[in-house]
Structures are given as C-alpha cells and as structure tokens.
Structure 1
Amino acid sequence: MSGILEGNDPYTQPSFSRANRLGRLVWGLVRLVAFRFSPRPLHAWRAFVLRCFGAKLGRGCHIYPGVKIWAPWNLECGDYVGIADGVTLYNQDRIAIGSRATISQGSHLCTGTHDYTRPHFPLRTAPIAVGDCAWICAEVFIHPGVRVGEGTVVGARAVVTADLPAWTVCAGHPCRVLKLRPRWE
C-alpha cells in the first residue's frame, strides 16, 4: 500500500491516499496500545502485531517496543533481526533488513524526501536495503535509496548518503569506507 499521490502540491494537498492515511491512523492507535507499552521480552507479540499490519518478518526478530515504524506494510526483515529502542523506520517506501542484521538505538532510516528543484516540492521516495549480518551502530542516519552491503558495519552517528560495499567498516559524515571487515562462515 504505497498510496503516494503523484502530482499533488504538498503545500495544499496530501501526499498520500486516504487509504494510506487511514491505515497509518489505525496503526498509530494500535502501536500506542498493543506495541509501545508491551513488555520488552514480548518480541513474538510485537512481531505478530506488525504482521497483522502487513510487515514481512522472518523467524526470531527482536523488535523492541520503542521502535517507531511509520508504515509496517513497508517493512521486510529476514530471520533474527534486532531493532533497538529509539530506532525510527520512516518507511514511506520499502525498508528491507537482511537476516542477522542489527539496527542499534537511535538510528534513523528515512525513505522519503522532497524534490527541492521543483516548485511544488513534490515527495520522492526510494527504498532502503540493509544486507545480511550488517550492523547499523547507534544514531546512524540512512538516506533514501541507500543499500548497505552484507556484513557491513556502519559506525555510530554516521550519515549514509550512498551505497556501502559488503564486508567493510564505514563511518563518518558523509559515511565512507575505513577498512575491510573479516568474513566468517
């Protein structure tokens, strides 16, 4: 359920369809009652709630109650994914997180932006993909359309504006490759 309305002036008209906005309203209420205040160990319960709203989650996902998810139907996680409290998944477009990946506290994955070169400042979205075994450390910001490679570690407070290669350690603002990360079997 993308629901993005093309050609609308976001200053005077909504950027998303009525169905999308209604879905987010219902999700917001359910998130507050059944997700946000659920006890920390109840990962299976939160996974169930997310699946009810269209999230595609693998086995053993640990999504903590303090995670802010804009649209569960745009979330896809592999097996044994960990997403810490304070993470924001601003998924106006799809966010795909590979198996055994970790998203640490305070990180922000943002799939939406606006085209500042156009007079009506239209909404633009692009999916984000995080590879298997990747680790997004604390307070990282990932821009729309970025792919983080398999096994990549992104250092704390990095700002990721471009794709990152597999099995590397990256950090900085803007984020850049620092060294290779050893692979394991």
Structure 2
Amino acid sequence: MRDLRAFTLAGYDKGRGLLVQALWFAVLNTVFMAWFTPARLRVALLRAFGADIGAGVLVRHRVRVLWPWKLTVGDHAWIGEGAWILNLEPVAIGAHACVSQEALLCTGSHDHRAADFRYRNAPVTVGEGAWIAARATVLAGVEVGRCAVVAAGAVLHRDLPELTLHTADGRRRPVGEPV
C-alpha cells in the first residue's frame, strides 16, 4: 500500500534556486510558449537560462521545458509545437534530431514498488538524426540511437538501437524496411 504522506524530494536536485525556477516559469508561461514569440527568441531564452543549444536549432511555440539548465540540443535540431521536455534529469537531443508535435521526453517517474512512491528518475538521450514522431513518448533512462525513429503515438521504455524504427504497437524493424 502506498503512503503518499511519506513522499519526499530526496535525491532530486532541481539544479537552481527557487528564484531562478520562479523566473523561468514566469518566462515559460508568458513569452516562451506564445505563438507570437520568434523561434530565435525561444532559443535565446533557453540559452539565457543555461541550456546548451547548438546552431540553427528550431523551437516552435507551445514547447514546454521544465528546467532549461538540464537541456542540451545539438546543431540544426527541431523541437515541434507542443512538445514537452519533462527534464527532472538531463535531456540531450543530438544534432539534426527532430522531436515532433506533442512528443514527450520524460525523465521522471516513481518507484511503484516503494510505499513512499519515491522518484525513479534517469536521463534521456536522443541520438543524432533521430526522430521522435508526433505524440510519441520516451521514458526515463532511455537512449534513442543515431537515426532511429520512434513512431507517432509510440511509447518507448527501453533503449532503441541506431537505425531502428519502434512502432506504436511496440514492434521494431530496420528504419529502411517497408512497413
């Protein structure tokens, strides 16, 4: 039986103080996610809050990033409308990778076996040239290999080798193989 009163933030480091966290949330919810904010300004705001962002990165509107200082994005990567980077732990997105519309990169979860429901967090890595398609979810501790594809609506809970397609029904095949 869970005892949620026993839950604590033990072992979870947000990485910045309360003032910086509050300032980021204010910027995130007023300017960063807005449709009228130019993509270049979104990139500049992420960098200003500590993200390591490469050249030519495109960040569309309605993107949510929990903690920018725990985000690394390689050159010419794309992050699509409504994507959610729930990075309690570091997220690395490789060069020329694409995180499509409403995709979720989730580095946090809870230990369902523990009565106190403690965190079970781990980083997420999206390899160079990989594609996380629309509404796909990549869970904590997963590494998506170079040029791999997580299909639309798929949930990925274990590493995906390079040049591999993970379908919404959980099957895997080489990227170039016909569907």
Same structural fold, with TM-score higher than 0.5 when normalized by the shorter chain: yes
Residues 61-84 of structure 1: per-residue CA shift (max 9 Å, x gap): 101121011111111000011001
RMSD: 2.1
C-alpha distance in structure 2 between counterparts of 1:76 and 1:17, whole Å: 17
Asked whether 1:181 is paired with 2:176, we answer yes
C-alpha distance in structure 1 between counterparts of 2:135 and 2:164, whole Å: 19
Shift of 1:121: 1.0
Match of 1:11 among 2, 5, 16: 5
Identify the structure with the greater strand proportion: 1
C-alpha distance in structure 2 between counterparts of 1:112 and 1:10, whole Å: 17
- Alpha-carbon distance change, 86 to 38 in structure 1, aligned in 2, over 3 angstroms: closer
Asked whether 1:33 is paired with 2:39, we answer no
Q: Aligned pair count? A: 172
The structure whose RCO (Cα within 8 Å, separation 6+) is larger is 2
Unmatched 5+ stretches in structure 1 = 1-8
Aligned AA (1:148): V
Unmatched 5+ stretches in structure 2 = none
Residues 125-164 of structure 1: per-residue CA shift (max 9 Å, x gap): 1000000011111100111000000001111100101000
TM-score (norm 2): 0.87
The residue correspondences of 1:101-140 to structure 2 (distance < 5 A) are 101-140=97-136
Identical-residue share of aligned pairs (%): 34
Aligned AA (2:28): R
- Alpha-carbon distance change, 55 to 144 in structure 1, aligned in 2, over 3 angstroms: same
Aligned AA (2:114): R
The residue correspondences of 1:15-164 to structure 2 (distance < 5 A) are 15=9, 19-37=16-34, 39=36, 42-164=38-160
TM-score (norm 1): 0.84
Residues 103-123 of structure 1: per-residue CA shift (max 9 Å, x gap): 110111100011121121111
